[in-house]
Amino acid sequence: MSAWTEEQPMRVAFAAICEGETPWVALGNFSNDFFPNEDRREALIKDPIEEPQGVSVELHRWAVFCAASVEYLCHKYDLTVPDWVYSYPPLEDQWFHSHAESNPVRRERYLRTTPPEFALRNIYCGDRIWQDKHEEAAKLQQRLLSA
């Protein structure tokens, strides 16, 4: 087993999804490079993803999800939004992550809390998407120290 040494920009993450990688594994690899490398963040999102012609509905959803993710992360971390993200219009139908579509309580929460970068593209994932575990741990520690 060899260690992975190459950077994982969003373009590579989406290509891995197209090649059959589990989406959350590919996106996790991207996030493992994005979050700790503040000086490399724009480089990791600048190149457009390449959506193959005749792609399945499922892969198209992930392409739009990747575009929404890049826009969201740019807004969150005050980065320049690359133009390529705007070439992905909203999905025709609402897409809910996990079992939210069949769970009325979770569905309502996702409709209410999903960041606009996703909701405007008809993707509903809630407000816990793209949390940096190190940032969240630091916030928790600060709250505990303040209590």
- Write down the pLDDT at residue 139: 67
Residue 1 lies inside a defined structural domain of this protein: no
If one counts the domains in the chain, the total is 1
Residue 14 lies inside a defined structural domain of this protein: yes
83 DSSP assignment: G
Residue 117 lies inside a defined structural domain of this protein: yes
Residue 5 lies inside a defined structural domain of this protein: no
What distances in angstroms separate CA 44 from CA 5, 79, 95, 107, one per listed residue? 15, 11, 26, 31
Name the pTM for this structure. 0.89
Residue 24 lies inside a defined structural domain of this protein: yes
Residue 3 lies inside a defined structural domain of this protein: no
Q: Is the pLDDT of residue 3 over 50?
A: no
Residue 2 lies inside a defined structural domain of this protein: no
Q: Is the pLDDT of residue 52 over 70?
A: yes
Residue 123 sits at φ, ψ, to 5 deg, of: -110, 130
Query: Domain span at residue 111?
Result: 10-146
Residue 4 lies inside a defined structural domain of this protein: no
pLDDT tens digits, 65-100 = 999 999 999 999 999 999 999 999 999 999 997 777
CB 45 within 8 A of CB 10: yes
